[in-house]
Structure 1
Amino acid sequence: MVSGSCELPAQRTPLSDAAETGLKIVVVGGFGVGKTTLVRSVSEIRPLNTEEVMTQAGVGVDAKTTTTVAFDFGRISLNERIVLYLFGAPGQERFWFLWDRLFSGTLGAVVLVDTRRMDDSWYAIDRLEHHGTPFVVAVNRFDDDVAHPLEEIRQALALPEHIPMIDCDARVRTSSKNVLITLVDHLRTMAIARETTP
């Protein structure tokens, strides 16, 4: 990931006693794309993560020294009763077998894309489509990448027009929050379309 620190919320709040509904969102994508960073930037609690020191299998990507080996976990309270649970999936291919179980019970997903390694996005999109999980695509803009237009990226990923795409900087809370808002809006649009279809 690029240099710079996450923009953290001013206060970490405890879960309300009135919380009764938990909604699950999964953040997926290739190795080193910024999934851990995105979860960390928006979570209202100190995220649980399963980062371990990198083995030879991951050497050479963005000077990373650690990698997620199970999942990241964060939380956002939408109101006193509804809580959003965020799960960041491991990016290394040898841990992809965990994804199918992680998708179970998922309301929707974010596919985080690094334009320098577009091929790493295919598996995430394929698995989400296989499970019928609604998703949006967020292009994490790194300092040293070429600023490809979103439409060009959409074509490269063969992504249908109805799937939302958004630029983001996973280090910045407001930017990561906008990604989640885009996903929620997409889910709402899909729900309305189902209700109005005869």
Structure 2
Amino acid sequence: MDSKPSETVPYPVKILVAGGFGVGKTTLVGSVSEIRPLQTEELLTEQSVGVDDTSGVERKTTTTVAMDFGRITLSERLILYLFGTPGQDRFWFMWDELAEGALGAVVLADTRRLAECFPAVDYFERRGLPFIIGVNCFDDGYDYSGDEIAAALDLSEDIPVILCDVRQRESGKEVLTTLVRHVIGRQTAKRAAAEATSG
């Protein structure tokens, strides 16, 4: 009787990429995606003046108006489907729908405008969705350590903060791998706590 090799069926996982306006969400999804990413970028117009805060990113000429979408295979057992959220306040009504079914999130931060990621941090904390902070290191950004950023954002000690350059594919992959490890670690800790309680 011939034995057939077992087929490994990859497990699909939905991941959100969030953060403030101009922080690099579209760039991260585009740099790591193994398929041509879906982008819903539109030109900034005069109508956005006074509505969208472009301070610190004055050279930015486009904005995501719905979402970005990409896919990356981390291993033969794991495929990540990436959904980049819009960064402006006026599009936050879409976050609930995008977050449905997500396993975790990357919150991108810019040290020049660190306060821009507070709403995303608050959102995922309230929702109970595991997240990490990816600090996108812009050339003219401030040189803060991960610990300093964690303290500034008042993060709990278990939330990873990783410095990255989202233009570089390997750096983006490291951010996503860190998130997956964080999610697995949380789930393992929850199972252990449940077993200890039931035992």
Partner deviation per Cα, 1:90-145 (whole Å, 9 max, x = no partner):
01111111111111100000000011111111100111111110000010000001
Matched-pair contact (CA < 8 Å) for 1:32–1:62: no
Partner deviation per Cα, 1:53-105 (whole Å, 9 max, x = no partner):
11232455240111000000000123456421000000111111111111110
Match of 1:154 among 139, 150, 154: 150
- Residue 113 of structure 1 is matched in structure 2 by 109
Match of 1:183 among 166, 179, 185: 179
- Residue 28 of structure 1 is matched in structure 2 by 18
Structure of larger gyration radius? 2
Is 1:140 the counterpart of 2:136? The answer is: yes
% identity of equivalent residues: 56
Matched-pair contact (CA < 8 Å) for 1:140–1:167: yes
State the 1:191 CA deviation.
1.5
Calculate the TM-score normalised by the size of structure 2.
Answer: 0.86
Q: Which amino acid aligns with 2:36?
A: R
5+ long unaligned stretches in structure 2: 1-7
Match of 1:51 among 8, 32, 41: 41
What SS is found at the alignment partner of 1:49? Answer: strand
5+ long unaligned stretches in structure 1: 1-17
Distance 2:140 2:75 in 1: 38
**Root-mean-square deviation (Å):** 1.7
Distance 1:48 1:19 in 2: 25
Is 1:166 the counterpart of 2:156? The answer is: no
Is 1:77 the counterpart of 2:105? The answer is: no
Distance 1:172 1:46 in 2: 16
Is 1:129 the counterpart of 2:119? The answer is: no
Matched-pair contact (CA < 8 Å) for 1:19–1:83: no
Distance 1:86 1:78 in 2: 12
Distance 2:76 2:183 in 1: 21
Partner deviation per Cα, 1:141-196 (whole Å, 9 max, x = no partner):
00001111221111111111110110000100000000001001101111111121
Calculate the TM-score normalised by the size of structure 1.
Answer: 0.86
